[in-house]
């Protein structure tokens, strides 16, 4: 089940990222440079601070978990695939950080393959977090979830920083 969840999340995210990156490449705009990528990261961090401190500027998403009715209608395997796919494409569930949007925009503006990599990396990190949390949630769910929420922005920042480095890499060489 875990392989289905993680695999479908990464695959769905990579396909969506590639499609968005390809669509961007058809537009009459070029890739964004390191200054614009840095501005996106700073804007995402500011948005996260505003969302946490003042409960404004929450990240754009459907803000819902995966429907529990799926487990009553579909097999466990199908539910794992559907849950993973929806989890992999961040805004289809609950996003707690604007860093996802920054990473996707940086990846998309850099090209389809970078967008696929950035989206896939996000999905992998998110799916692994879900799996680890689900395995460890037995006795002390509230404290563990609080730690996961605190770690989310750091993981997002690492993803955005990596995307920004990749976006700036062609300019350096």
Per-residue pLDDT of 82-141, as tens digits, reads 999 998 898 988 888 898 899 899 999 999 999 999 999 989 988 888 888 777 765 566
Rounded to the nearest 5 degrees, what angle is found at the Cα of 93, between the Cα atoms of 100 and 96?
45
Q: Of how many residues is the chain composed?
A: 173
Would you say 16 and 92 are in contact if contact means Cβ atoms under 8 Å apart?
no
In the block, residue with structure tokens 């796919």: 85
Rounded to the nearest 5 degrees, what angle is found at the Cα of 143, between the Cα atoms of 138 and 149?
110
Q: What is the pLDDT of residue 167?
A: 64
Looking at per-residue pLDDT, the higher value among 96 and 169 belongs to: 96
Q: Which pTM was predicted?
A: 0.75
What is the mean pLDDT of the segment spanning 2-31? 93
Looking at per-residue pLDDT, the higher value among 172 and 27 belongs to: 27
- Total domain count for the chain? 1
Angle subtended by helix axes 76-88 and 112-136, to nearest 10:
130
Looking at per-residue pLDDT, the higher value among 164 and 58 belongs to: 58
Q: Six-digit token pair at 72?
A: 């009553």
- For 87, the domain range is 2-172
Q: Which residues make Cβ contacts (< 8 Å) with residue 11, sequence separation at least 6? A: 85, 88
What is the mean pLDDT of the segment spanning 18-36? 91
154 C-beta neighbours (distance < 10 Å), count: 11
- Judged against a pLDDT cut of 90, whether residue 12 lies above it is answered with yes
29 secondary structure, DSSP code: -
pLDDT tier, 18 (very low <50, low <70, confident <90, very high otherwise): very high
Q: Six-digit token pair at 140?
A: 């002390």
Report how far residue 13's alpha carbon sits from residue 16's, in angstroms, rounded to the nearest whole number: 5
Would you say 102 and 40 are in contact if contact means Cβ atoms under 8 Å apart?
yes
Q: Six-digit token pair at 119?
A: 């989206």
Looking at per-residue pLDDT, the higher value among 139 and 39 belongs to: 39
């Amino acid at each position: 089940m875990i392989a289905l969840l993680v695999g479908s999340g990464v695959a769905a995210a990579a396909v969506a990222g590639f499609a968005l990156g390809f669509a961007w490449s058809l537009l009459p705009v070029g890739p964004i440079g390191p200054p614009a990528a840095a501005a996106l990261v700073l804007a995402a961090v500011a948005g996260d601070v505003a969302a946490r401190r003042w409960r404004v500027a929450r990240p754009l998403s459907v803000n819902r978990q995966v429907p529990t009715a799926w487990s009553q209608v579909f097999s466990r395997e199908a539910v794992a695939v559907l849950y993973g796919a929806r989890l992999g494409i961040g805004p289809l569930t609950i996003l707690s950080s604007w860093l996802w949007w920054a990473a996707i925009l940086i990846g998309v503006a850099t090209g389809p393959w970078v967008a696929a990599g950035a989206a896939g990396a996000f999905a992998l990190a998110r799916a692994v977090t879900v799996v680890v949390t689900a395995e460890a949630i037995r006795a002390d769910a509230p404290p563990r979830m609080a730690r996961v929420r605190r770690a989310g922005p750091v993981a997002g920042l690492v993803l955005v920083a990596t995307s920004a480095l990749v976006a700036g890499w062609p300019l350096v060489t």
